[in-house]
Amino acid sequence: MTDPIFGRLDLSSLSVWRAFQDPSLSELIGAGAAMAVILGALATLALLTWIRLWGPLWRDWLTSVDHKRIGIMYCALALIMLARGVIEGVLMRTQQAFGLHGGFLTPDHFSELFSTHGTIMIFFVAMPFIAGVINYVMPLQIGARDMAFPVMNQISLGLTATGAALVMISLVLGEFSTGGWANYPPYTGADFQPGPGPDYWIWSIVLAGIGTTLSGINFAVTIYKERAPGMHFLRMPIFCWTVICTSIIMIFALPPLTVAALMLAADRYLDFHFFTNDLGGNMMNYVNLFWLFGHPEVYLLVIPAYGVFSEVISTYSGKRIYGYMSMVYATMSIAVLSFCVWLHHFFTMGQSANINAAFGIASMAIAVPTGVKIYNWLATIFRGRVRMTVPMIYATGFFYLFVIGGLTGVMLANPVISYQVHNTLFLVAHFHNVIIPGVLFGLLAGYHYWFPKAFGFRLHEGWGRAAALLWIVGFSFTFLPLYWLGLQGMPRRSASFGDPSFQPMLWLALFGGMLILAALGSLMLQLWVSIRNRVQLAVPLGDPWNGRSLEWSIPSPPPAYNFALLPQVLDRDDFAEAKASGRAYAEPAVYEDIEMPDNTAIGMIVCVCSTLMGLALVFWIWWLAVLSLGVMVVSLIGRTFRTDLSHVIPAAQIAAEHRAWLARVRAAPAVDRLAETHDRNRGRAMPERPFAAGAAE
């Protein structure tokens, strides 16, 4: 029987206690990570108290419903989790480099590492980073004041943070699943893993997944209903098109994950037989449900990154994106095809050859629209005025490396080849090869590109270049050797191995891992240096890169209401066209009052309650689970009884702020593209040449 108050939580749940009992290196590493989490949390709390930031943090951030602030908080969450994910990755590289007949980690600890690494990198790095960039950029690009549902947006962030918190807590209390990021039953069922590990996975995924579904609804409705006058669908920046596709995937592909995880929960908690070995359970249902989510998921991740690259390449080449319509069609095709290929994740699990062939062909077909995009980007660069800024370095790395990853994907889409290399490091190399150069490089490019918009100063260029090059070279050293190892037959997810011929390549991969660690360090240093030099790097006038879309037509950082007057859009790349024709920075004849939603604590209530609920469910503390769910439901319903939930910003205040900014813009010298990364750049760009010159199309 479990304790009525503490459930199955006891002293042995503490990983520090376990290390005390059994001070092996493997346990000590686990305990060290737990201590890092605890000390990190305590240090943060102490620091916030020390510099008296609780009030501003609560008022300006945690209770904010402003899409820009929510976006920044998503990105901050992603970067924190990225640090843990990278460290785990390097730890695994180290274990394997010394893993001939052993190594220093126990197999179970190694399995926990690849499970948390995968779960964190997908759900708590890539997803929040994408949600953050979309949140920040998309409403500005379509000329909206906020998301369609600002409060729901805050709740989505709260639920995502809950999932991340549960994974972090699993370092301290209990342990995480050893079943990989896909968490396949029956291995993760109650028979084989009775402990709290898979339950952590289930509740962090379910709660964060619900948040993501709500985000998808929010993004889609915002684009469908909140575009500025004249912003027709075919005038939207390509990034917004990728957001539509991604939100459609969020709406349709997250439910299978929720269903699969909740069915697994029913198996584990209530002795159901959805996926058990006995009594008519069918684990293939799980595999199908999971990948029905899992494959669209990878396109959910990479499609917005394509959107970022489209914006970045077009801006830094000083040209319209080449082949706008074909970009739109290609993005849509990828989104639709992403739902037709899930079976290629388990070619070897017993379907007939014909089914495998059909899914193999569908998978290869995705290479066609992807190729269209690559050629469009290359054609955009062709004869453009290219500046090799940090985002362009990432884009260049993306071109070379992503194409390799895509081609190995086409290889794996062939069931015959899949039979040979499945479950080897070849596969590990392939998916890292698409996700890091595709998703991560895209997001980092976006981070550098839009950072000045969000904070009013540029990121330090030198450290940014160092980080970008380290990422590119570090990635290549880490993952390209894994192709070779996979072809030699080294299985994935193995803590140790017996064939000494694997060793040289594993050492090479470890060297790459060190470079990636250095890349992460450079990113942190860059942020530190940039904040210190924020006065020299300031670009408050809003347009440091000679931008083309609406977000560059407003101050940096933008006011809470985004646009003093909603823009009237006349063209694709409207701001570039406005600068060329001289209608940019015009003063509106009349300003109007703007109604904005009030701050609310509901997102934090949901976040805290759902974290407690998840923890209670993991440790069978039933009273706490019921209590926290109850508080959450009552607060959500209680809020609907209030009707005074917005405030009005008077037209006079808006007029004063806008006129002051316009005056500074007119007074500032326009900076040409050679001085883009110099201190002279204050965010007023000099128009380069007549818009839509012959070579541009």
Q: Name the 3-class secondary structure at 3.
A: strand
The string of DSSP letters for 269-311 reads: HH---SS-SSTT--HHHHHHHHHHHHHHHHHHHHHHHHHHHHH
Give the bridge partners for 340, in sequence order. none
Give the count of residues interacting with other proteins (CB under 8 A).
39
Residues 664-693 that bind other proteins (CB under 8 A): none
Where do the H-state alpha helices sit in 502-650? Answer: 503-532, 574-581, 602-618, 622-639
Task: Round to whole Å and give the CA distance between 397 and 375.
Answer: 15
In the complex with other proteins, which residue's Cβ is closer, 226 or 573? Answer: 226
Task: Round to whole Å and give the CA distance between 447 and 190.
Answer: 42
Is residue 415 within 8 A of residue 361, CB to CB? The reply is no
Structure-block tokens of residue 470: 């380290």
Closest approach, Cβ 474 to other proteins, in A, equals: 39
In the complex with other proteins, which residue's Cβ is closer, 41 or 284? Answer: 284
In the complex with other proteins, which residue's Cβ is closer, 276 or 433? Answer: 276
In the complex with other proteins, which residue's Cβ is closer, 106 or 288? Answer: 288
Looking at 85, 150, 196, 281, which residue binds other proteins (CB under 8 A)?
Answer: 281
Task: Round to whole Å and give the CA distance between 354 and 365.
Answer: 17
Q: Which of 323, 321, 372 is CA-nearest to residue 549?
A: 321
Is residue 105 within 8 A of residue 123, CB to CB? The reply is no
In the complex with other proteins, which residue's Cβ is closer, 127 or 538? Answer: 127
In the complex with other proteins, which residue's Cβ is closer, 246 or 494? Answer: 246
687 CB-near residues (< 8 Å, 6+ apart):
546, 579, 580, 670
Q: Which stretch binds other proteins (CB under 8 A): 48-56, 220-228, 602-610, 619-627?
A: 220-228
Q: Which of 155, 163, 94, 72 is CA-nearest to residue 123?
A: 163
Closest approach, Cβ 274 to other proteins, in A, equals: 5
Looking at 4, 280, 498, 694, which residue binds other proteins (CB under 8 A)?
Answer: 280
Element (H, E) at 594: strand 594-597
Closest approach, Cβ 600 to other proteins, in A, equals: 15
Looking at 4, 101, 225, 590, which residue binds other proteins (CB under 8 A)?
Answer: 225
In the complex with other proteins, which residue's Cβ is closer, 121 or 289? Answer: 289
Residue owning tokens 């180290």: 94
Looking at 40, 61, 104, 273, which residue binds other proteins (CB under 8 A)?
Answer: 273
Element (H, E) at 595: strand 594-597
Binding status of residue 226 toward other proteins by CB under 8 A: yes
Binding status of residue 289 toward other proteins by CB under 8 A: yes
Is residue 174 within 8 A of residue 618, CB to CB? The reply is yes
Phi, psi angles (nearest 5°) of residue 523: -60, -45
Query: Length of the chain in residues, anyone?
Result: 697
In the complex with other proteins, which residue's Cβ is closer, 227 or 579? Answer: 227
Window 233-272: contact mask with other proteins (x via CB under 8 A): ------------------xx-xxx-xx---x--xx--xxx
Is residue 193 within 8 A of residue 187, CB to CB? The reply is yes
Residues 22-51 that bind other proteins (CB under 8 A): none
Residues 642-661 that bind other proteins (CB under 8 A): 643
Closest approach, Cβ 291 to other proteins, in A, equals: 12
Q: Name the 3-class secondary structure at 350.
A: coil
Burial class (CB in 10 A: 0-12, 13-18, 19+), 58: middle
In the complex with other proteins, which residue's Cβ is closer, 289 or 429? Answer: 289
Looking at 78, 220, 287, 436, which residue binds other proteins (CB under 8 A)?
Answer: 220
Residue 152 Cα to chain centre, angstroms: 19
Binding status of residue 625 toward other proteins by CB under 8 A: no
Looking at 101, 498, 640, 644, which residue binds other proteins (CB under 8 A)?
Answer: 640
40 CB-near residues (< 8 Å, 6+ apart):
none
Task: Round to whole Å and give the CA distance between 73 and 66.
Answer: 11
596 CB-near residues (< 8 Å, 6+ apart):
145, 146, 560, 561, 646, 647, 648, 649
Task: Round to whole Å and give the CA distance between 25 and 105.
Answer: 7
Residues 343-362 that bind other proteins (CB under 8 A): none
In the complex with other proteins, which residue's Cβ is closer, 221 or 527? Answer: 221
In the complex with other proteins, which residue's Cβ is closer, 222 or 478? Answer: 222
Closest approach, Cβ 145 to other proteins, in A, equals: 13
Closest approach, Cβ 146 to other proteins, in A, equals: 12
Q: Which stretch binds other proteins (CB under 8 A): 89-97, 278-286, 431-439, 501-509?
A: 278-286
Closest approach, Cβ 351 to other proteins, in A, equals: 14
Looking at 1, 535, 637, 648, which residue binds other proteins (CB under 8 A)?
Answer: 637
Closest approach, Cβ 70 to other proteins, in A, equals: 17
Binding status of residue 459 toward other proteins by CB under 8 A: no
Residues 130-159 that bind other proteins (CB under 8 A): 148-149
Angstrom CA distances, 414 to 160, 289, 298, 347, 488, stand at 36, 22, 19, 9, 19
Give the bridge partners for 648, in sequence order. 595
Structure-block tokens of residue 340: 């037709």
The string of DSSP letters for 375-409 reads: HHHHHHHTTS-----HHHHHHHHHHHHHHHHHHHH
Closest approach, Cβ 212 to other proteins, in A, equals: 11
Helices 425-434 and 283-316: angle between axes, nearest 10 degrees: 40
Give the bridge partners for 538, in sequence order. 457
In the complex with other proteins, which residue's Cβ is closer, 266 or 357? Answer: 266
Task: Round to whole Å and give the CA distance between 514 and 508.
Answer: 10
In the complex with other proteins, which residue's Cβ is closer, 50 or 641? Answer: 641
Q: Which stretch binds other proteins (CB under 8 A): 82-90, 97-105, 282-290, 445-453?
A: 282-290
Binding status of residue 635 toward other proteins by CB under 8 A: no
Is residue 314 within 8 A of residue 548, CB to CB? The reply is yes
In the complex with other proteins, which residue's Cβ is closer, 275 or 661? Answer: 275
Binding status of residue 221 toward other proteins by CB under 8 A: yes
Looking at 2, 12, 49, 282, which residue binds other proteins (CB under 8 A)?
Answer: 282
Instruction: Find the largest Cα–Cα distance for the chain.
Output: 78
Q: Which stretch binds other proteins (CB under 8 A): 53-61, 210-218, 557-565, 660-668?
A: 210-218
Q: Which stretch binds other proteins (CB under 8 A): 201-209, 572-580, 640-648, 680-688?
A: 640-648
Looking at 94, 162, 276, 356, which residue binds other proteins (CB under 8 A)?
Answer: 276
Give the bridge partners for 685, in sequence order. 671
Q: Which of 495, 434, 640 is CA-nearest to residue 108?
A: 495
Binding status of residue 188 toward other proteins by CB under 8 A: no
Closest approach, Cβ 278 to other proteins, in A, equals: 8
Closest approach, Cβ 288 to other proteins, in A, equals: 9
Residues that bind other proteins (CB under 8 A): 148-149, 213, 216-218, 220-221, 224-226, 251-252, 254-256, 258-259, 263, 266-267, 270-274, 276, 278-282, 285, 289, 292, 637, 640-641, 643
